[in-house]
Structure 1
């Protein structure tokens, strides 16, 4: 039964209390900075990678006091196809047909805009549209929430 009814995973969010480091930044380069710029609050696999095996993973640092919630929302937004407000389209290889977020200002401070902005807990209309485009390209198998049909007792026993 389990082989035929495998769980469908759309995204994986890894939450840790440890620092996430940008290993592409050299050690010497990091030592030269006073703010340890290689320490990240979160990272996402790829823009628009929701439902794409090997790319649908995001990771977030949280200190146990829910300070990572905003970062988690941002990383999941990236997986769903959103770019930062004010940015152009991510490219057809990421989200086909997306206009990006050029129609929304970074300074307006929505979730995908300027950090700690006045609208930080709200999605801009550009992000919402990007979600639709990101999900649509993967088809109903990605976002279909229809519950599986109930199995009869005889099917369970087989």
Structure 2
């Protein structure tokens, strides 16, 4: 997607549902091409855009519903599905980033965390259809300010223990093909060849 220079001021934004659907089609095509060329799979696709992303439902768009407060619908990013990393579908995410400002870095980390199986701190399990066996993040407070919490204070660039635990469930459920990509004929980083 190219940068069209749209902004909230002009009232033109990217719809989150439509954006996710388009990214899923693009991601599948990219995955096929990548696998054919390199023999490897893509774990996730992340789009950085300068456009705002608006969280509205497709039915609202179809019914031409006007929202008097568009600002409240603006989100920093979207993810295809909780725990979708290494899957054949929904392994996409998008975030808004201002060029040269790196304003989307935390949002990108958050959206990729969701793809890896994490939920926001304070939330219960995402459900077995998303991440089998996960106990969610209920035992971590949203207000502690970690990456998947309120993102305030000195913890905002760190993961809570809940997020780290969720990653283990989220990635392991897809098997070694997702988390162990080291070719067996090459030494690991911590091995010294003889």
Partner of 1:87: 123
Partner of 1:17: 50
Distance 2:181 2:143 in 1: 35
Give the RMSD, CA atoms, in angstroms.
Answer: 2.0
**Do the aligned residues in 2 keep the contact of 1:108 with 1:118 (CA within 8 Å)?**
no
What is the aligned residue count? 147
Larger CA deviation: 140-149 vs 91-100? 140-149
**Residue 138 (str. 1) matches residue 138 (str. 2):** no
Summarize deviations over 1:12-52 as a string: whole Å, max 9, x none: 1111111122231735452x22x522222100000000011
> Could you list the runs of 5+ residues in structure 1 that have no partner in the other structure?
151-158
Distance 1:40 1:12 in 2: 18
Give the secondary-structure state (helix, strand or coil) at the position aligned to 1:13: strand
Partner of 2:159: 123
Summarize deviations over 1:61-117 as a string: whole Å, max 9, x none: 101110000000000000000000000000000000000001101110010011323
Distance 1:111 1:14 in 2: 19
Summarize deviations over 1:92-150 as a string: whole Å, max 9, x none: 00000000001101110010011323310110000000000000100000111313758
- TM-score w.r.t. length of structure 1: 0.85
Distance 2:153 2:92 in 1: 26
How far apart are 1:6 and its partner, in Å? 2.1
Larger CA deviation: 16-25 vs 46-55? 16-25
Partner of 1:6: 39
- TM-score w.r.t. length of structure 2: 0.70
Partner of 1:43: 78
1:56 alignment partner, one of 91, 102, 114: 91
Give the secondary-structure state (helix, strand or coil) at the position aligned to 2:95: strand
- Return closer, same or farther for 1:66/1:148 CA change in 2, 3 Å cut-off: farther
Distance 1:73 1:117 in 2: 17
Give the secondary-structure state (helix, strand or coil) at the position aligned to 1:37: helix
